[in-house]
Structure 1
Amino acid sequence: MRTIKSFNYSVVFFLFPFMAIYLVFQIFPLFHALFASFFKWDLLTSGMTFKGLANYTRMLKDPTFWSSFFNTLKFVLYSTPLLIIIGLIFAILLNKKSKVNSSFRTAFFAPYVFSVSVTTLIWGFMFNPQKGLIGKAFTFLDLPVINWLTDPHFAMAAIIICTLWWTVGFNMILLLAGLQDIDPFIYEASSIDGAKWYHDFFHITVPSLKRTIELVAILQIIASFQIFGQVYILTKGGPGGTTRVLIQYIYETGFRDYQLGYASAMAVFLFLAMFAISLIQLTFKSEKKNAKE
Structure 2
Amino acid sequence: MAESYRRSRWSNGLFVVPYLSVFLTLLVFPLGWGIWLSLNKVDLFGGERFIGLKNYARVLNDPIFAQAVKNTVIFVGVSVPTLVMLGLFLALALNKTTKGSSFLRGLFFASSILSVTIVTLIWRIVFIPNDGLMALIFEYFGWQPIGFLSTTGWSLFSVGVATVWWCIGLPMMLFLAALQQIPKDLYEAAALDNASRWRVLTRITLPSIKSTIMLVAVIQVVMQFQLFGQAQLMTNGGPAGSSRPIVMYIYEVGFLRWDIGMGAAASQILFLIILCAAMLQYWISTRKEEVDA
Q: Same fold (TM over 0.5)?
A: yes
Give 2:65's aligned residue.
65
Quote the offset at 1:272 in angstroms: 0.8
Q: Secondary structure at the match of 1:49?
A: strand
Q: Secondary structure at the match of 1:239?
A: coil
2 CA distance for matches of 1:174 and 1:111? 16
Query: What is the correspondence of 1:132-211 to structure 2 with a 5 Å cutoff?
Result: 132-211=132-211
Quote the offset at 1:124 in angstroms: 0.8
Give the aligned residue type for 2:34. A
Q: Percent identity?
A: 36
TM-score when normalising by structure 1: 0.93
Give 2:26's aligned residue.
25
Give the aligned residue type for 1:268. Q
2 CA distance for matches of 1:279 and 1:156? 26
Give the aligned residue type for 2:114. F
Q: 2-11 or 150-159, which moves further after superposition? A: 2-11
Give 2:89's aligned residue.
89
Query: What is the correspondence of 1:226-245 to structure 2 with a 5 Å cutoff?
Result: 226-245=226-245
Q: Secondary structure at the match of 1:130?
A: coil
Q: Is the 8 A contact 1:83 1:168 kept in 2?
A: yes
Q: 192-201 or 167-176, which moves further after superposition? A: 192-201
TM-score when normalising by structure 2: 0.93
Give 2:35's aligned residue.
34
Give the aligned residue type for 2:78. Y
Quote the offset at 1:289 in angstroms: 4.4
Quote the offset at 1:192 in angstroms: 2.4
Give 1:130's aligned residue.
130
1 CA distance for matches of 2:18 and 2:147? 49
Gaps (5+ residues) in structure 1? none
Give CA deviations for 1:133-176 in whole Å, capped at 9, x if unaligned. 22222222222211110011211111111001100111000001
Give CA deviations for 1:24-66 in whole Å, capped at 9, x if unaligned. 222111110101111100123x421111111111122111111
1 CA distance for matches of 2:141 and 2:22? 54
Q: Secondary structure at the match of 1:244?
A: coil
Q: Secondary structure at the match of 2:284?
A: helix
Gaps (5+ residues) in structure 2? none
2 CA distance for matches of 1:110 and 1:48? 46
Give the aligned residue type for 2:227. I
Quote the offset at 1:194 in angstroms: 2.0
Q: 184-193 or 96-105, which moves further after superposition? A: 184-193
Give 2:216's aligned residue.
216
Give CA deviations for 1:171-207 in whole Å, capped at 9, x if unaligned. 0000011111112222222222222211111221111
Quote the offset at 1:290 in angstroms: 4.8
Give the aligned residue type for 1:20. S
Q: Is the 8 A contact 1:148 1:155 kept in 2?
A: yes
Give 1:7's aligned residue.
9
1 CA distance for matches of 2:19 and 2:125? 40
Q: Is the 8 A contact 1:129 1:136 kept in 2?
A: no
2 CA distance for matches of 1:103 and 1:9? 49
Q: Secondary structure at the match of 1:47?
A: strand
The count of residues paired between Structure 1 and Structure 2 equals: 291
Superposed CA RMSD = 1.9
Q: Secondary structure at the match of 1:238?
A: coil
Q: Is the 8 A contact 2:214 2:282 kept in 1?
A: no
1 CA distance for matches of 2:137 and 2:286? 48
